[in-house]
Amino acid sequence: MEQRVLGRTGRDVSVVGLGTWQLGADWGDVTESDAFAVLDAAVESGVTIFDTADVYGDGRSEQLIGRYLKDRPDAGIFVATKMGRRAEQLPENYTLDNFRAWNDRSRANLGTDTLDLVQLHCPPPAVIESDAVYDALDTLVDERRIAAYAVSVETCAEALAAIARPGVASVQIILNAFRLKPLEEVLPAARAAGVGIVARVPLASGLLSGKYTKDTVFAADDHRTYNRHGEAFDQGETFSGIDYETGLAAAAEFGELAPEGATAAQTALRWIIQQPGVTTVIPGARSVEQARGNGAAAGLPALPQSTLDAVRDLYDRRLRASVHGRW
């Protein structure tokens, strides 16, 4: 699979990675054997970057990855984890002492002395603007607890603030065919600064696959049931912040743009990969079939300009009014 340098980490990662929120919680049950099978399928398809967080399943996602990699020391997998959501979302909790404690736990979960990358996990905006926070992160690098740091953000303004910091290796942001605003300023700024871009929620929580209907029922412990209106965390993380029925109609239209031989989900991933400035896209997968299908998207031919124009038109007509001003 094509590899790209992840910004200031200087490390190569695959253009399609694996999001592992699904291996923790918030998406209904995924058994341990299913989780290992998903990791295997991703690696076999050429994936070399896993995205996780210390809070996914309260550490389960990190622990599963740690155990998986323990048996495969030469797999060459880059693990991007996150910290910051084990405490109340107050700027005063983003201290060096807390960072060290969270870091100790993630290193134990992942079974490594030095984390490849730690991303601040969508912190309050004041944290992204704080010199003291970046000083503390530099200290973690000096202590070799982490090789590099990054910021996962909700809004384009937050992304631009993070990109302006000289030590930030990459920025993680929601970018997909239903969320086009990062194309305007964030991707050009990241390219100019040499900061990597990790595109998350690439399938709009699965909507872009076109497989749901108005009668689809998600599990009670799936955020697509309990966070549709931002009840538990930022609304933008669930279906990209799009009203479900609006999203179904947009997804039906998007599906018609899939080239022969590609699924709608693969088309959605391919669309992201070819946006200038994107380093990697991290779809979450809950099954071996999904992991394989997502990996295969990296090998599809580039989408023609007519498809890119059609995506833009779809967004402008159906979605822009509800999401563009918000994130």
Ligand X SMILES: NC(=O)c1ccc[n+]([C@@H]2O[C@H](COP(=O)([O-])OP(=O)(O)OC[C@H]3O[C@@H](n4cnc5c(N)ncnc54)[C@H](OP(=O)(O)O)[C@@H]3O)[C@@H](O)[C@H]2O)c1
Residue 283 interacts with ligand X (CB under 6 A)?
A: yes
Residue 21 interacts with ligand X (CB under 6 A)?
A: yes
Report the residue number, 105 or 211, with the smaller CB distance to ligand X: 211
Report the residue number, 153 or 160, with the smaller CB distance to ligand X: 153
Residue 206 interacts with ligand X (CB under 6 A)?
A: yes
Cα–Cα distance for residue pair 168/195, rounded to 1 Å = 7
| Contact of 327 with 289, CB cutoff 8 Å | no
Cα–Cα distance for residue pair 85/102, rounded to 1 Å = 10
Q: Which stretch binds ligand X (CB under 6 A): 30-38, 90-98, 132-140, 197-205?
A: 197-205
Residue 110 interacts with ligand X (CB under 6 A)?
A: no
Member of 9, 109, 209, 227 binding ligand X (CB under 6 A): 209
Residue 26 interacts with ligand X (CB under 6 A)?
A: no
Binders of ligand X among residues 117 to 146 (CB under 6 A) are: 121-122
| Contact of 197 with 173, CB cutoff 8 Å | yes
Centroid of chain to Cα 135: 25
Report the residue number, 277 or 284, with the smaller CB distance to ligand X: 284
Report the residue number, 277 or 295, with the smaller CB distance to ligand X: 295
Number of residues that bind ligand X (CB under 6 A): 30
DSSP string over 28-80: S---HHHHHHHHHHHHHTT--EEE--TTGGGGHHHHHHHHHHHT-TTS--EEE
Which one, of 171, 185, 126, lies nearest residue 324 by Cα?
185
Cα–Cα distance for residue pair 55/299, rounded to 1 Å = 32
> Which of left, alpha, beta for 230 (phi over 0: left; psi -120 to 50: alpha)?
left
Residue 156 interacts with ligand X (CB under 6 A)?
A: no
Residue 186 interacts with ligand X (CB under 6 A)?
A: no
β-pair partners for 151: 120, 171
Member of 45, 103, 170, 172 binding ligand X (CB under 6 A): 172
Cα–Cα distance for residue pair 84/160, rounded to 1 Å = 20
Q: Which stretch binds ligand X (CB under 6 A): 97-105, 132-140, 276-284, 302-310?
A: 276-284
Residue 295 interacts with ligand X (CB under 6 A)?
A: no
Residue 106 interacts with ligand X (CB under 6 A)?
A: no
Binders of ligand X among residues 61 to 100 (CB under 6 A) are: 82
Site residues, ligand X (CB under 6 A): 19-22, 27, 51, 82, 121-122, 152, 172, 200-206, 209, 211, 237, 265, 282-286, 290, 293-294
